[in-house]
Amino acid sequence: MPVQRASFTRPILAVAMVTISTLAAFAQKAPVPTRVRGTIESVEGDTMLVKSRSGEDVKLHIASDLRVAGVTKISLADIKVGSFVGATTVPGPEGGENAVEVHVFPESMRGTGEGSRPYDLKPNSSMTNATVSESVVGNDGHTLLVKYKDGEKKVFVSDMTPVVTFVPGDKSELKTGAKVIAFMKQLPDGSFETDRVSVGRDGLTPPM
């Protein structure tokens, strides 16, 4: 009997070791964040400290080729047929999508990131960058048909949905208290660097 127990124990231990190794591999492959949304705590030289919306402190090296865009509020009426927009949406009724926010790209940014993909703003949210082909005005908002190279979506934008656009900015806007979205990459030493920041104007929190 002891021999039989040993023969059963060894396979069980082997399976346990494989399971542990697999879990460790998954842990090591946790996705690296590509953006941080939050408030600037400080800027010292080429280092910026951001307090994320979820409360973490994120230290970022500011790249020498940094690009800064201001984010400013506009009205729902500023979304026209032919506008190239980005819309963060969540599934709505009858196969449509409800907009969480919409940003209208200036003409110089037309075509940026065209397409539709999963997004990390909210659970089950997606980001669609596309051209408005139809706009129907309702009692409580607009229903937009947006088209991109691989498809189209019907998006409902309520009167309460934040609508913004981008304007040229510069590094001087990166100061304590500013609300930002910093796009970042991980460097070989494990630290993070940002070369693109969107900063809210006049206290605005970028909604995307």
Position 196: which residue type? R
CA distance readout (Å), 184 to 119, 132, 154: 16, 29, 31
Give backbone dihedrals phi and psi of 82, rounded to 5 degrees, phi first: 100, -15
CATH superfamily of 35-71+166-203: Copper binding periplasmic protein CusF (2.40.50.320)
Q: Which of 40, 17, 44 is nearest to 178 (CA)?
A: 40
Token output for 91: 């599934």
Neighbours of 207 (CB within 10 A): 20
How wide is the angle at C-alpha 41 spanned by C-alphas 169 and 172, nearest 5°? Answer: 25
Is the pTM of the predicted complex or chain greater than 0.75?
yes
DSSP string, 19-59: HHHHHHHHHHTPPPP-EEEEEEEEEETTEEEEEETTS-EEE
In this predicted model, what pLDDT tens digit does every residue of 112-140 receive, in sequence order? 999 999 999 999 999 999 999 999 998 88
Neighbours of 160 (CB within 10 A): 8
Tens-binned pLDDT, residue by residue, of the chain (208 aa): 444 444 444 444 343 343 344 344 434 455 667 899 999 999 999 999 999 999 999 999 999 999 999 999 999 999 999 999 999 999 988 778 999 999 999 999 999 999 999 999 999 999 999 999 999 998 889 999 999 998 999 999 999 999 999 999 999 999 999 999 999 999 999 999 999 999 999 999 999 9
Token output for 188: 């070989």
Q: Taking the domains of the chain in order of start, what are their residue ranges?
A: 35-71+166-203, 75-163
